[in-house]
């Protein structure tokens, strides 16, 4: 295992510190904004009611949009389920049946063609070997 590069370790440490500092600054900014917004709202109740009404309208519109998106998501899941059930399953069953047929064909060919050919070739090789033993060799 190679030892870690000290320069990369220091750089990684700096990145972590920068990220933590950025997070702290962001949280403090949000807290200050909330405090300032509260002070402004307490000072002007009419403006606060107007802002509240606008926020309620936006939340209602957002709920409608999320509802539509959820309905579309449910429809897509139902279509995917139907696709798997009606199209992919028959394809897989057909493929499995084809593989079974192919397995049977290879076993048939092995038993009825390859094995006899091997037996004939081994007999021919044995005959050649026997003839080679009995062949008279000429000496020079």
Q: How far apart are CA 133 and CA 103, in angstroms?
A: 42
| Predicted pLDDT of residue 56 | 95
Q: How far apart are CA 89 and CA 87, in angstroms?
A: 6
Share of the chain above pLDDT 90, in %: 46
pLDDT band at 11 (very low <50, low <70, confident <90, very high): confident
User: Which run of H or of E encompasses 2?
Assistant: none
Q: Where are the domains of the chain?
A: 14-43, 50-111
Q: How many CA atoms lie within 13 A of 126 on its CB side?
A: 6
End-to-end CA distance of the chain: 70
The pLDDT of 17-21, averaged and rounded, is 94
Are the CB atoms for 51 and 41 separated by under 8 Å? yes
The answer, yes or no, to whether residue 4 has pLDDT greater than 70, is no
Q: Cβ neighbours of residue 48 under 8 Å, at least 6 residues apart?
A: 41, 42
44-92 tens-digit pLDDT: 888 888 888 999 999 999 999 999 999 999 999 999 999 888 888 888 8
Sequential DSSP letters for 32-63:
HHHHHHHHHHHH-HHHHHHHHHHHHHHHHHHH
Q: Cβ neighbours of residue 51 under 8 Å, at least 6 residues apart?
A: 41
pLDDT band at 7 (very low <50, low <70, confident <90, very high): low
């Amino acid at each position: 295992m190679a030892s870690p590069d000290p320069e990369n370790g220091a750089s990684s440490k700096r990145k972590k510190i920068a990220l933590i500092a950025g997070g702290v600054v962001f949280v403090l900014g949000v807290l200050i904004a909330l405090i300032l917004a509260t002070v402004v709202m307490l000072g002007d109740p009419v403006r606060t009611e107007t802002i509240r009404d606008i926020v309620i309208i936006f939340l209602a519109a957002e709920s409608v949009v999320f509802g539509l998106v959820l309905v579309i998501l449910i429809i897509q899941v139902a279509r995917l389920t139907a696709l798997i059930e009606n199209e992919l399953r028959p394809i897989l069953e057909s493929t499995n049946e084809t593989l079974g047929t192919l397995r049977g064909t290879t076993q048939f060919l092995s038993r009825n063609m390859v094995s006899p050919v091997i037996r004939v070739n081994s007999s021919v090789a044995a005959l050649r070997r026997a003839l080679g033993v009995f062949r008279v060799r000429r000496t020079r």
